[in-house]
Structure 1
Amino acid sequence: MNIVLIIGSAMLVAFAYNFFFIPHEILSSGLSGIAIMLGILTPFNTGVLNLLLNLPLLILGMMKLGKRFIAYTILSVVTLSIGLYVVPVIKLSSEPILSSLFGGVLTGLGAGITFRASASTGGLDIIAMLLARKKDFPLGLLLSMMNAVIIVFAGFLFSWDTALNTLIGIYATGKVVDSIHTKHIKLTLNIVTSKGDDICEKLLASLYRGITVMDAKGAYSGEKRMMLMTVITRYQLNEVKQIIHDVDPTAFVNITQTVEVVGLFHRE
């Protein structure tokens, strides 16, 4: 299901770029925006440029992020690049402002779904994911801050109308991403399992989170268990549930939303 969501979301972003952004010389966020800019200024295809620009950060992601995450991200980047190459550039709307707004919403929808599927669209998203693991900010805000330079380039290279339309698109993208990718929401997990050591090993290898281990015993069966308590972010939930299910399908998991976390939250 994640693979289907990632491919569909990447194609949605490709349609947003080729139908709304590129015909009006509007730039998107991140390295994709730079790829659009270079695609307008040079004879090279935007899809090819997007793939080439993402290669260094994909290598960085391989070293710093989980294998599943970076594999999904590579799939997203490759699909988006292919989509930009094969989808024709069509001016669907003659209004630049409407194009920037709808293009931004579609881009945010695609990026948000991609994040929920434990992946990213590559580029500055990889940097944002690394920062988001260390700083407690909504991901869309981080992306918007890092994309300010894209707006300045759009103003100097094209026109300040283009820069303002780019700003609208990036803002719309960030708001939609934040509404879908609720990473800044914290969840507390209490996991009762007979395979606590195995689950701990898997979780510690995949998450930047600490885990508290307690001995437990079933009141009815009298069997000894381990109870693991950890606090994660909302976007990590699917990955954590999959890990628990793979190790111990019979584990009991209680998930509650956390109002506030005081003390050390990010495991270094």
Structure 2
Amino acid sequence: MDSKKNVVKHSLMEDVLAMVIGTLLISLGVTMYGNTGLLTGGTAGLAFLIQYSTSFSFGFVFFIINLPFYWLSIKEMGWEFTSKTFLSVFLLSFFSEMTPNFIQFTDINELYASIVGGFLIGAGFLMLFRHNASLGGLNILARYLAKIRGISMGKFQMCVDCGIIFLSMFTVHWWLIVVSIIGAVALNSIIAVNHKPGRYNVT
């Protein structure tokens, strides 16, 4: 039987709910990371580095950094993916600004924050990927490589994320870098285990 005949596309409401819930989960993980001085990879990692070095907030920096990547998204992934990604980036930027008003992590273990926060961010990413969206930046490149070359998104992002964290050695304490690498492994293990190119037909 042709599996394509059984494909049922997600409705617009399902896509919107997935983007809202996914970015809410990610914003909680981002708040845990930000309160403990941890880092992650991709454009989010760059946003953290700028946040720690300047007076700009994560949400603002994250939104601005992603702008140059949309041309690749439009060219290679299409308008639907790009519009969903733009909305997801906007939602995460907004939720990242609002979450600290509702919950404060004033005394949280760095190792716990890296693992649990990484799982939260990874689960949020997975929801976005399943609904043909991402959080821009290197996520767009990872999605493109998975679609065109069949390269595992989780493995690609794990390599890139660890590289970015290592580049931050002059910005944060070495222990936080070690813990951040553990968080990167936790984050990308969710994607590597649960998102295989070609395995899922529902879009």
TM above 0.5: yes
Alignment partner, residue 12 of structure 1:
25
Query: CA 1:152 to 1:27, structure 2 compared with 1: closer, same or farther past 3 Å?
Result: same
Question: Residues 182-222 of structure 1: CA distance to partner in whole angstroms, max 9, x if unpaired?
Answer: 22xxxxxxxxxxxxxxxxxxxxxxxxxxxxxxxxxxxxxxx
Greater Cα radius of gyration, structure 1 or 2 = 1
What stretches of structure 1 of length at least 5 have no aligned partner? Answer: 184-232, 240-268
Contact 1:113 1:181 in 2 (8 A): no
Q: Residue 86 of structure 1 corresponds to which residue in structure 2?
A: 98
Deviations 1:8-27 (A, max 9, x none): 10111011111x20111111
TM superposition score normalised by structure 1 = 0.67
Quick one: higher RCO (CA 8 Å, sep 6+), 1 or 2?
A: 2
- Output the amino acid matched with 1:238: V
Answer yes or no: is the 8 Å Cα contact 1:47–1:85 preserved in 2: yes
Equivalent residue runs for 1:129-148 within 5 Å: 129-148=143-162
Aligned-pair CA distance for 1:155? 2.0
The whole-number CA distance in structure 2 between the counterparts of 1:30 and 1:57 is: 12
Deviations 1:82-108 (A, max 9, x none): 111122172265211111000100000
Residue matched to 1:171: 185
Q: Name 1:109's counterpart in structure 2.
A: 123
Residue 52 (structure 1) aligns with: 64
Residue by residue over 1:146-182, the C-alpha shift from the partner in whole angstroms, topping out at 9 and shown as x without a partner, is 1233211332211111111110111001101123322
| Greater strand share, structure number | 1
Report which stretch shifted further, 58-67 or 163-172.
58-67
Query: Which residue of structure 2 aligns with residue 28 of structure 1?
Result: 40
Matches within 5 A, 1:183-262: 183=197, 233-235=198-200, 237-239=201-203
What is the aligned-residue RMSD (CA, Å)?
1.5
Stretches (4+) displaced over 4 A = none
> Is this contact kept in 1: 2:45–2:165, CA < 8 A?
no
- What residue is the counterpart of 1:95 in the other structure? 109
Q: CA deviation at 1:132?
A: 1.5
Which residue identity lines up with residue 234 of structure 1 in the other structure? R
Query: 1:155 is matched with which residue?
Result: 169
Q: How many residues align?
A: 188
Higher helix share: 2
TM-score, length-scaled by structure 2: 0.87
Q: Which runs of 5+ in 2 are unaligned?
A: 1-13
Percent of residue pairs bearing the same amino acid type: 26
SS in 1 for 2:26: helix
1:168 counterpart letter in structure 2: I
